[in-house]
Each structure stands twice: as C-alpha cells, then as structure tokens.
C-alpha cells in the first residue's frame, strides 16, 4: 500500500533521484576543476594572491551595448586582475598599476543592476578612464586586497592613507 506522505515510496525512485543528484554534483566539480586548470596553466600557485569562482562579470563601460552577464573566475596577482568566463571565450586583464579606485554601484550603463556590484575603475590601454563591473562572492575580502596591493602603491608618496585624518586632528583647536 502506497503511503501518500512519502512521495518516493519505492526504492527505484529513490535510487534515480540519488543518481540524478550525484550527477549534478559531479558535473559542478568537473567544471570547477576545468576552471582551476585554466588558471593554473596561466599562473603559478605562488603568483595567485586571491581567486574566486562564481564571479558575475557585467562588462566594461567603454564597450557599447547593454551590460553583459557571464560567470567565471576572478584572479588577483601582484601584477593584475584577471577574469575568465566559465563557458564563453571572454577574458579581461586589468594591470594593477592602471587601477585607480573601487566603488560600489547599483546601476551600470544606465541599467539598474538590482544588486550592489563592485566597479573597478582603471585607465584602459587607450589611456581613457574605464570601469569593469563584477559581483564577487565575499566582496569585503576583494576590496581589502585590492586596496592593499594596488591602490596603496598607486597613491602618490606624499598622500599616504591616514595623513589627511592626522593633519585634520592636528588642526583641531585645543579645548
């Protein structure tokens, strides 16, 4: 007698559901392994400072058209940020010395993004200001790492972080 409270009441249904679930898990692991191999073929392990899988890339502002949406891997080295799409042949390399700032935005190319995304502001190969937009897992880690590795060395020597605050404290009148 079939029990209506247990939808998979025979062993064959349970087995098929289990095989389907495991197939999906193995497919995800296989794709992740392919992404890792691509990254390892481009960079040595000691060169990689930070990497994330499952990064959404929305495009570069200088490229006309609506925002893109591709999923891939973002890698940070001492020299550059590198994005590689999972399935499409889409790559982006931003030299570290070209990065001028980071910002959190919710519109890109005139379109509402419906989520907060990170814009990496940089100077492109043509010498023009540009920005690439990403949705990154654990954005705080990426923000801190980019600030430390790229932006701190790109600042002029006479304008180190904290000097403005310290100068303001020194100018406060004594109470």
Question: For all residues of the chain together, what is the average pLDDT?
Answer: 81
CATH code for residues 44-156: 2.30.29.30
Rg, the chain, Cα only:
23
pLDDT value of position 38 = 82
pLDDT tens-place string over residues 16-45:
889 999 999 999 888 888 888 888 888 888
pLDDT in tens, 45-97: 889 999 988 899 998 998 888 888 899 999 999 999 999 998 888 899 999 99
pTM over 0.85? The answer is: no
Residues whose CB falls within 8 Å of the CB of residue 130, separated by 6 or more in sequence, listed in order: 60, 61, 62, 121, 122, 123, 124
Nearest alpha-carbon partner for 151 in 72, 94, 108: 94
């Amino acid at each position: 007698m079939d029990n209506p409270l247990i939808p998979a009441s025979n062993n064959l249904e349970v087995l098929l559901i289990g095989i389907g679930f495991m197939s999906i898990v193995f497919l995800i692991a296989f794709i992740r392994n392919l992404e890792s191999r691509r990254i390892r073929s481009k960079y040595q392990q000691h060169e990689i400072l930070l990497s994330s899988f499952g990064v959404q890339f929305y495009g570069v502002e200088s490229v006309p058209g609506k925002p893109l949406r591709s999923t891939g891997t973002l890698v940070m080295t001492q020299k550059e940020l590198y994005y590689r799409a999972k399935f499409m042949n889409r790559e982006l390399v931003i030299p570290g010395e070209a990065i001028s700032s980071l910002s959190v935005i919710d519109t890109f190319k005139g379109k509402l993004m419906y989520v907060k995304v990170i814009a990496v502001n940089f100077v492109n190969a043509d010498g023009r200001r540009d920005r690439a937009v990403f949705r990154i897992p654990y954005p705080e880690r990426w923000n801190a790492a980019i600030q430390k590795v790229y932006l701190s060395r790109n600042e002029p020597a006479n304008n180190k972080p904290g000097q403005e605050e310290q100068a303001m404290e020194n100018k406060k009148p004594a109470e």
